[in-house]
Structure 1
Amino acid sequence: MASLFPPGLAEARLHRYLVHWNRDPTQVREIDRDAITTPTEEERKARQAKFDQIGQDYYDVVTPMYEQGWGQRFHFTPLTPNCTLEESHEHYTRSLASMAGLKPGMRVIDIGCGIGGPARDMARITGAHITGVTNSAWHVQRGNQLSKDEGLQDKVQLVRANFLTLPFPDESFDAAYGIEALCYAPDPTELYQEIKRVLKPGAPFTFADWVMTEKFNEENEEHRKVRSWIEFGNGLTRMATVEEKRDGLKKVGFEVLGEENMAYRSAPVPWWYAPAGSIWSAWKIPGWAGFWRVFTMSPIFHALFVRPLYHLLVFLGVEKKELLAELDLMWYCCRSAGIGGRLDIFTPMYVFTCRKPSGGKDGEKGRFASGKGV
C-alpha cells in the first residue's frame, strides 16, 4: 500500500492526519480506536474548526489508493440492473447532469471536485464548461493534467480554494453541482450561502451528499459509533442529517424543487455491497473488473491474505508500522459506509435539486461587492 504514494507523502502525511484524531498527539503511528469510536462533543467541535486542513491531510493520504482502486471517480453509485459498475456510474452521472439542468456553453461550478473525474464526465455529456473547486493542491495538479491528457483542458479547469470562501465574483456561474463533497463543511448553511452568492439569479443547484438519514437516532450508541467511524474513515468532521441539509437550504433562500435518496434506486443489489465487501452480491453485477474490486475489499480476502502479509512485512522490517494504520484507515473508510448503509442510517446519495430565486439580489453578495476577494 505504501508504494502507492508519491515520495514524501506516505508516513509523514499519515501522521499529519492522525494527529487530528488521536488523543495523544505524540502517538501517530497507529490509530487510537477509543478516540475515534467514542469522541467527545468537545473533540468533534475542535475538529470542525479546522475541517479544511483535516480534509487536505486526509486526501493527501488516500488519493493514490482511491485512484488505483476506483479510478477517477471518488464517489458511490446506485447499481443499474444488467449493467457493469462502470455503466452504472455513467448512468448515474447522466441522471445527475439532467437533474442539474446542465447545457452546452453553461459556466458551471463543481463543488469539491476531487481529481476531476465527474467534472470531465459532465463536460463530455453536456458540453458545459466546468470549474472544479478542491482544497487539495495535489488534486488540482493531477486533475488538470488528466484533463489535458484527455483533450478537455478548454472544458474543465480545477482550482484550489476553500469552498466557504470561493475566489469568484458574485453571480459568476450559470449552475452549480456537487457529488459527495458538500458534507465536508461542518455548517451546511454557511456553505449554501456561499454557493448562492456565486450563482446567477434563477441558476440551478443540485447535489448528491452524504447524510445521516431519518432513521439515525442520536440517542442510539451504535448509531453514534457508526457515524464516528464514517467521519474518521473519510476525513469528515461533522456528518449532518437530512433535516439539517433541508433546513439550511431553505434558511439561505434556495428554492428546493425536489429531493430523493437515490441509494434506493440501486438494483439488483444495494449500493453498499462494495464497501461492505460482499462478494455474494458482486456475483450479480456483470463484469469481472467490478467483481475483482469488491473481492479485494472483502473480509475473506483481507483475513486470509492482506492482513497476514502486511503483518509479516512489518515484522520483518520490510515495511514500517504505518502500513498497518493505512490498512486500518481504509477499513474504517469502507466498512463504516457499508455498516451505515446496511442499517439504513446513512446514505452517500441523498440528492437535492434546488434553484436560486430569479429575483433581485437578496443579501448573498458581500465579499466581492467592494472589490475585495479572499
Structure 2
Amino acid sequence: MASTFVLQKETRAEDAEFKDAMHGKNATTKTGFLSALSKNTDAQQISVGEYFKFWDNKRPSNETEGDKTTRVEEYASLTKHYYNLVTDFYEYGWGKSFHFSRFYKGESFKQSIARHEHYLAYKMGIKPEMKVLDVGCGVGGPAMEICRFTACNITGLNNNDYQVERANHYAKSIGLGHKLNFVKGDFMQMSFEPGSFDAVYAIEATVHAPSLEGVYSEIYKVLKPGGTFGVYEWVMTDKYDETIPLHREICYGIEIGDGIPKMVKTEVAVQALKNCGFQIELQEDLAAKNDDVPWYYPLSGEWKYFRTPSDLLTIFRASWWGRQATMKILGVLEKLHLAPAGSQKVTEALEEAAMNLVLGAKLELFTPMMLFIAKKPL
C-alpha cells in the first residue's frame, strides 16, 4: 500500500482514496483512542513521513530560511497530514470542538467551549436562516453548536477528507443534516461564487494559512457586501521577539505540535485584514482578561481550578499526567503491533505543543483567541 499512495500533487480522488486506506470504515464507526489504534499502518507511516519531513532534525538553532519557506509553500500537505494524524487524539482528549476558551469558576468544560462559540456568533450578529461559511471547520463541533444557537445554515470548508466525512456524519446523527453541509476545499483557493455568504467565521483555523492576507482575501471575496467576518486568530503578541532564543523556541514548539507553517504577530493579522478591504469593528484579546481561571488550565493540569466532576476525564486527558500516560501506553502498544507505527511520535509532538502553549501564555507571548470582527463595506 505504501507504494500505491504517492502523496505529491494528489488529486481530490487520490486524497479520498488515501483517507479510505488510512481510516477504512472507521471514519464514522469509531472515535477517539479506538479510532487512533485502528489506522492502517502503511498509510499512517506515509502521513508520519510527509508531516515530520518538515521538522525532523530541525530546531530553531539550525533551521534555515529555506526550511521556513518550504513549510509555507507546502502548507496544504502539511496541514492535511497533520490532521490525518491528530484528529482522533483531539477528539479523545478535547471533544469535537478543536479550540480553546475562557473559563468561569464552576463552569463545565463543555459549557465554556459552547459559550466561546456563542460569543463569536453573537458578536457577528448571526441570525436565523443566514448563509454562513465555517472556514477550517474541523469535525463540525462549532458549526453544530452555532447552528443550534442561531438557527442559521452553515457550510463547513476543510481540506482533510477524514474530518469532512466525520463532520457530515455527526451533523446527520443529531438531525442537522439539512442545516449543515461540510465540503472539501482549500481556503486559499475557494471555489464558491463571489458574494455567496452573509457571514464567515474561522475558529483557530486560519493560522494554518501560508499567508493571512491570502486567506482573508478569499473570505472577503465570498462574503456579500455588508457581510461580517469573525475570527479567533492564533497570534504571537507584541511582547514576542523572534531574536530572543527562548521566544523562538516557544513559537517553534507551537508550530511543530500544531501543524502551523509560520506563526505571526498580531500586527500582521491587523494589516492583512485592512489590506483586503475589511473594516475592523472589534479587536479583542480574550486571553488577556486576567480571568480567575486561565484558558490554558486543562493543559497545565492546575487542578485547583477544577470544579465540575463531569469534566474529570477530559481534564485528566488534557493534563501533563494524562498526556504522559497516553504517550507511554501508545509506545507499548506500538511495540506489540497493536497501534500503528508513529503513534507515539505524534503524541510527542502534541506534548511539545502543549508545553509551549502554556509557557507562551504565561509569558504573554501568545494568544489563541485574538478576536476580530470585520465588515465587508457595502
TM-score, normalised by the number of residues in structure 1: 0.86
Partner of 2:56: 32
- 2:44 matches 1:13: yes
**How far 1:283 sits from its partner (Å)?**
3.5
1:37 and 1:78 map into 2 onto residues whose CA distance is 34
What residue number does 1:205 align with? 229
What residue is the counterpart of 2:275 in the other structure? 251
CA deviation after TM superposition for structure 1 residue 97, in Å = 0.7
Identity score, percent: 30
* Corresponding position of 2:84: 60
1:355 aligns to 2:375 (yes or no): yes
The aligned residue for residue 143 of structure 2 is 119
Q: Secondary structure at the match of 1:167?
A: coil
Correspondence for 2:159: 135
Which segments of structure 1 move beyond 6 Å, counting only runs of 4 or more?
none
Q: Decide whether the 8 Å contact of 2:207 with 2:263 is kept in 1.
A: yes
Matched residue, 1:341? 361
Please tell me the residue identity of whatever aligns with 2:135: I
Q: Is residue 2:347 matched to residue 1:324?
A: no
After superposition, the C-alpha distances for 1:99-153 in whole angstroms (9 at most, x for unaligned) are 1110011101111100111001111000110011000111111111110011001
Q: Which range moves more in the overlay, 177-186 or 293-302?
A: 293-302
1:314 offset after TM fit, Å?
5.0
Counterpart of 1:235 (choices 239, 243, 259) is 259
Q: SS of the counterpart of 1:202?
A: strand
2:223 and 2:98 map into 1 onto residues whose CA distance is: 25
1:308-332 alpha-carbon deviations (Å, 9 max, x no partner):
5455555566656623313312212
3-state SS of 1:5 partner = helix
CA distances 1:190-248 after superposition (whole Å, capped 9, x unpaired): 11111111111110111001111111101111111111111110111011110000001
Query: Which residue of structure 1 aligns with residue 312 of structure 2?
Result: 291
SS of the residue corresponding to residue 372 of structure 2 reads strand
Range with greater deviation from structure 2 (227-236 or 9-18): 9-18
Partner of 1:163: 187
Which of these residues, 216, 222, 242, is aligned with residue 192 of structure 1? 216
What does residue range 74-93 of structure 1 map to in structure 2 within 5 Å?
74-93=98-117
> What SS is found at the alignment partner of 1:43?
helix
Seen in structure 2, the aligned counterparts of structure 1 residues 317 and 216 have a Cα distance that, compared at 3 Å, is same
- The structural deviation recorded for 1:299 is 3.2
Looking at structure 1, the residues matched to 68 and 215 of structure 2 have their Cα atoms a distance apart, in angstroms, of 19
* CA offset digits 1:65-104 (Å, max 9, x no partner): 1112211101111112331111111221111111111001
From the superposition, tell whether residues 182 and 21 of structure 1 become closer, same or farther in structure 2 (CA, over 3 Å): same
**What amino acid is the match of 1:4?**
S
Q: Deviations over 1:255-291 (max 9, x none)?
A: 0111011113473221111223x2xx33323212323
Alignment counterpart, residue 4 of structure 1, candidates 19, 32, 35: 35
Q: Which runs of 5+ in 2 are unaligned?
A: 1-31
8 Å CA contact 2:233, 2:368 repeated in 1: yes
Q: Residue 271 of structure 1: SS of its match in structure 2?
A: coil
What secondary structure, in the 3-state scheme, does the structure 1 residue paired with 2:347 have? helix
- Find the aligned partners of 2:169 and 2:339 in 1 and give their Cα distance: 31
Cα deviations by residue, 1:315-368 (Å, 9 ceiling, x for unpaired): 56665662331331221232222222122111111110100011xxxxxxxxxx
* Cα gap change, 1:129 to 1:76, in 2 (>3 Å): same
Helix, strand or coil for the counterpart of 2:190? Answer: coil
Q: Runs of 5+ in structure 1 lacking a partner? A: 24-30, 359-374
The equivalent residue for 1:368 is none
The secondary structure found in structure 1 opposite 2:261 is coil
- State the match for 2:246 in structure 1: 222
Distance 1:20 1:160 in 2: 20
The one-letter amino acid of 2:175's match is G
User: Matches of 2:209 and 2:258 in 1, distance apart?
Assistant: 13
Distance 1:258 1:210 in 2: 16
Letter in 2 for 1:347: T
Aligned pair in 2 of structure 1 residues 242, 11: CA closer, same or farther (>3 Å)?
farther
Q: CA RMSD in A?
A: 2.3
| Structure 1 residue 7, shift from structure 2 partner | 4.3
Cα distance between partner residues in 1 of 2:35 and 2:61: 28
